[in-house]
A and B are shown apart, each in its own frame.
Chain A
Amino acid sequence: MEAIIQTEDLSISFGGHVAVDSVSITIPSKKFTSIIGPNGAGKTTFFNLLSGQLSPTKGSIFYKEEEITKLSTTERTRLGIGRSFQITNVFPNLTVLENVRLAVQSQKKVRYNMIAHFRHFKQFEQKSYEILEKVFLLEKADSKAVNLAHGEKRKLEIAMLLALETELLLLDEPTAGMSLEEVPAIIDVIKQLKQEDDRTIVLIEHKMDMIMDLSDEVLVLFHGELLAKGKPEEIVQNETVQSAYLGGMYDEKQLT
């Protein structure tokens, strides 16, 4: 099994609080991995470390066996790490189409040719329309992103991530804050991504049925530490994980 991301002893602390504590994991290439854990377990912080928004206090990160610990977010995106955010992150005053076009044109293949924009402009727009179709947002292409419903914004965000054509997608709670009716549409989009098989997806989620349905492997974070990893069915059976979610572990940790 080939690894796309590997962390060694990865830690970050804010003041005295250790948010991610010596996490060493391997994320297999071309698989669907989910990260779960109670609120405040350090899941998003872990993503921030992988994507470069934060730099670790100690430990290292490898992407395809090359160390990327010191690289900036921009450089990591160029290598092929794309991420979505828990808080919706689109450009509100641009249209939906422009949001996607921005991502299309910042792909590795076309990026270094800033001047030749006129020739490619139609191509970019075409590509953007195709991606919008994939995430079922085509009819909203000319609306400003600020006017979209929350679920549509999340779809747009995924569309932008798709447009980047990164090998690795880090999805941070794509269904957060969504109404129940909106969730199935996002799951459809993610399923479709999963089928495009040269892609690795890492998902942070709370909805267990979604995790069970999609994941090849599940990692459990708790108090910044890696508590368990395994196939989804194993994780559900795992007693430590169960007690962590029920709060038992919390007391134990307080006592020691």
Chain B
Amino acid sequence: MDLVFSLLINGLATGMLIFLLAAGLTLIFGLMDVLNFAHGGLFIWGAYTGVWFYQMSDSFLLAIMVSIITGLLLGLITEKLIVRPVYGNHIQQILITLGFMLVLQELIKVVFGPDQKAVFPPGWLQGSFMVGDIVIIKYRLFIIVLGFLVFFLIFFILKRTRIGLIVRAGVIDKEMIQSLGINIRFVFMLVFMVGAAMAALSGMLHAPYSGVIYAEMGLEFSILAFIVVVIGGMGSFTGSLFAALLVGLAQAFMAYYFPALSLAVNMLLMATVLIFRPQGLFRVKG
């Protein structure tokens, strides 16, 4: 029982990190049909700047803020300089964002050095506690709680605010939202920035979770995020949470019970969803 439970916690924590990365991706794709392969670059920059600040100041919470700010700024730059000129052209988008991803990855090595860096959770999040005979690792619980907080915050914004309604409607039909006199470009820039900030936050939280950061982890992790976007339904925010948790849990359980399958399980999940529900688990577009 305690084994199942700890696999569960493990899977949920991984799932939350993937969710934070995938949520921005799915909204960016849904709203503007932009395939942003540079999303993993925002993830590593969030991780490195956050960790840099964390090691300098020794304040984990402030470091999280720093990574979020990095994400916002980098998101702004990426949207303005990289994505904006190639709206509507998928091939150009793939080429330029993938290229920018590599640039971001190599710049990490230039700025922070090419070596892997070890990162530990702050003292107050180290170790574990017992509930009955179940061991709960504090940092994993922290990730899960924070992930849910971010989910509910954004969920609330989407449901109960003006800008949220515009974003949801824009995902369904962006031409029509323009004929209502709404400047979708501006809204999209905001969404891009928030998505980038979530990616950066995901990177920062991932650092002490895996214990080590390196420049290539962005690309590796963003593949999971793309799988999640497909499974959850492109453009669906709630779908990305469900799909990310599903992928996280599948990976955690497979890695223990069928280690040979643990790498393939995500692809299998995606293939299954594509066969039976090509639009993803949650359909958004009309």
What is the interface of chain A, defined by CB distance below 8 A to chain B? Answer: 51, 53, 72-74, 77-78, 83, 89, 91-94, 98-99, 101-103, 105-108, 111, 114, 117-118, 120-121, 124, 146, 160, 164
* Distance of A111 Cα from B176 Cα, bound (Å): 17
**Would you give the shortest CB distance from B26 to chain A, in whole angstroms?**
15
Residue of B nearest to A93 (CB): B172
- The one of B162, B166, B181, B184 in contact with A78, judged by C-beta atoms closer than 8 angstroms, is B181
B57 part of interface (Cβ distance < 8 Å): no
Question: Which B residues lie within 8 Å of A120 (CB)?
Answer: 162
**Would you give the shortest CB distance from A184 to chain B, in whole angstroms?**
27
Supplied contacts A74-B178, A91-B169, A164-B181, 12 more A-B pairs, CB within 8 Å: A77-B178, A91-B286, A92-B286, A93-B172, A93-B284, A94-B168, A98-B165, A111-B181, A111-B182, A114-B163, A121-B161, A124-B162
A72 touches B178 (CB 8 A): yes
* Distance of A164 Cα from B181 Cα, bound (Å): 9
Asked, given contacts A103-B180, A164-B180, whether A93 binds B286 with beta carbons under 8 Å apart, the answer is yes
What is the interface of chain B, defined by CB distance below 8 A to chain A? Answer: 160-163, 165-166, 168-169, 172-173, 176-184, 284, 286
Select the residue from A72, A89, A102 with max chain B CB neighbours within 10 A: A102
Question: Which B residues lie within 8 Å of A73 (CB)?
Answer: 178-179
Question: Which B residues lie within 8 Å of A53 (CB)?
Answer: 179
Question: Which B residues lie within 8 Å of A89 (CB)?
Answer: 173, 176
SS class, residues of chain B in contact with chain A: helix
A106 touches B163 (CB 8 A): no
- The one of B162, B165, B179, B182 in contact with A94, judged by C-beta atoms closer than 8 angstroms, is B165
Residue of A nearest to B162 (CB): A117
Question: Which A residues lie within 8 Å of B286 (CB)?
Answer: 91-93, 146
B176 touches A117 (CB 8 A): no
- The one of B168, B173, B180, B284 in contact with A106, judged by C-beta atoms closer than 8 angstroms, is B180
A117 touches B180 (CB 8 A): no
A83 touches B179 (CB 8 A): yes
* Distance of A212 Cα from B70 Cα, bound (Å): 63
Residue of B nearest to A114 (CB): B163
Select the residue from B165, B173, B184 with max chain A CB neighbours within 10 A: B165
* Distance of A209 Cα from B46 Cα, bound (Å): 65
B169 touches A74 (CB 8 A): no
* Distance of A199 Cα from B11 Cα, bound (Å): 59
Residue of A nearest to B282 (CB): A93
Question: Which B residues lie within 8 Å of A114 (CB)?
Answer: 162-163
Question: Which B residues lie within 8 Å of A164 (CB)?
Answer: 180-181
Question: Which A residues lie within 8 Å of B162 (CB)?
Answer: 105, 114, 117, 120-121, 124
Question: Which A residues lie within 8 Å of B163 (CB)?
Answer: 114, 117
**Would you give the shortest CB distance from B244 to chain A, in whole angstroms?**
21
* Distance of A160 Cα from B165 Cα, bound (Å): 14
* Distance of A105 Cα from B160 Cα, bound (Å): 13
Asked, given contacts A101-B165, A117-B163, whether A91 binds B181 with beta carbons under 8 Å apart, the answer is no
Question: Which A residues lie within 8 Å of B179 (CB)?
Answer: 51, 53, 73-74, 77, 83
B182 touches A106 (CB 8 A): yes
Question: Which A residues lie within 8 Å of B169 (CB)?
Answer: 91, 94, 98-99, 102
Residue of B nearest to A51 (CB): B179
B176 touches A106 (CB 8 A): no
- The one of B165, B178, B184 in contact with A102, judged by C-beta atoms closer than 8 angstroms, is B165
Question: Which B residues lie within 8 Å of A101 (CB)?
Answer: 165
Asked, given contacts A102-B166, A114-B163, A121-B160, whether A91 binds B176 with beta carbons under 8 Å apart, the answer is yes
Select the residue from A83, A91, A105, A108 with max chain B CB neighbours within 10 A: A91
* Distance of A47 Cα from B91 Cα, bound (Å): 33
Question: Which A residues lie within 8 Å of B184 (CB)?
Answer: 74
Residue of A nearest to B159 (CB): A98
The 5 closest A-B pairs by CB, nearest first: A77-B181, A92-B286, A117-B162, A106-B180, A117-B161
Residue of B nearest to A145 (CB): B286
Question: Which B residues lie within 8 Å of A94 (CB)?
Answer: 165, 168-169, 172
25 A-B pairs whose Cβ atoms sit less than 8 Å apart in the complex: A51-B179, A53-B179, A74-B179, A74-B183, A77-B178, A83-B179, A91-B169, A91-B172, A92-B172, A93-B168, A93-B284, A98-B165, A98-B168, A98-B169, A99-B169, A103-B180, A105-B162, A105-B165, A106-B181, A111-B181, A111-B182, A117-B161, A121-B161, A164-B180, A164-B181
